[in-house]
Amino acid sequence: LSELEALMERMKRLQEDKEDEEASQEEMATRFEKEKKESLLVISGGICAFPYLAVLFTAFDDEIVSTDVSRYIEDPGFGYKDFARRGEDHLPTFRAQDYTWENHGFSLVNRLYSDIGHLLDEKFRMVYNLTYNTMATHEDVDTTTLRRALFNYVHCMYGIRYDDYDYGEVNQLLERSLKVYIKTVTCYPERTTKRMYDSYWRQFKHSEKVHVNLLLMEARMQAELLYALRAITRHLT
């Protein structure tokens, strides 16, 4: 099977398995912990000060570009760091059910800045639901499972867990090269190269892969907002 056909077959099998038997809460929690720990091993190093400036323009050379962003920021050392040290047994987890964007973050950010919550929510929903219902040359394909895996993997890297999501889907749908690309674009965009871009979903259209970038950036932004708004809520209460 080609890469595309294999991915579509896994999506179909996941749907059939979900209809036949659902994993227990304990099993889903175990799968999340496994995925969270593995995400720490994907890549390390780099500065991620302004992801939106870099992510939409992938570097088209084969070497990592050394980008000096220090002139744009007050603290050149500010950037992404893994949420836990490697080798730790009990990694911190942000349970999304305890503080969600829909039920908590949206209303708080609207209080802090009138109507910004509506604009952010519209942006999140538009990018998440954006689809041509295609996968490369295949039409009339429901890509919901794949889009959710991409979005939730970014949140997983930030230690955010959804109790109703089976993280076993992430491992089945996102191959290693794609996970490397996801973490690089999301956390260290100045290190992104054309080789990384070309290494995954080789049969997909560029527009579909650009949509991946948009999903990753919106997922990262929402994760950052959840942490920030939860901290503000705790301060206010």
Q: Which amino acid is at 157?
A: M
Mean pLDDT for 186-197 is 87
Mean pLDDT is lowest, of 85-94, 140-149, 182-191, for 85-94
Residues 157 and 36: their CA atoms lie apart, in Å, by 6
Residues 99 and 173: their CA atoms lie apart, in Å, by 27
Residue that wins the pLDDT comparison between 63 and 136: 136
pLDDT of residue 42: 75
Pairing of β 94-95 and β 160-161? parallel
pLDDT score of 226 more than 90: yes
Asked if 69 contacts 76 with a C-beta cutoff of 8 angstroms, the reply is yes
pLDDT of residue 186: 92
Number of domains in the chain: 1
pLDDT of residue 101: 96
Mean pLDDT for 48-75 is 49
pLDDT score of 208 more than 80: yes
DSSP for the chain, please give it: --HHHHHHHHHHHHHHHHHH-PPPHHHHHHHHHHHHHHHTTS------S-HHHHHTS-B-SSS------GGG-S-TT-----SS-TT-SS---EETTTS-IIIIIHHHHHHHSTTHHHHHHHHHHHHHH---SEETTEES---HHHHHHHHHHHHHHTTEE-TT--THHHHHHS-HHHHHHHHHHHH-GGG-BHHHHHTS-TTS-HHHHHHHHHHHHHHHHHHHHHHHHHHHHHHH-
Determine the structural domain holding residue 86 and report its residue range: 3-236
Residue that wins the pLDDT comparison between 19 and 107: 107
Residues 44 and 5: their CA atoms lie apart, in Å, by 31
Count of CB atoms situated within 10 Å of the CB of 229? 20
pLDDT score of 39 more than 90: no
Average pLDDT across the chain, whole number: 84
pLDDT score of 67 more than 80: no
pTM: 0.84
pLDDT score of 10 more than 90: yes
Mean pLDDT for 118-141 is 95
Which of the four pLDDT bands, split at 50, 70 and 90, describes residue 50? Answer: very low
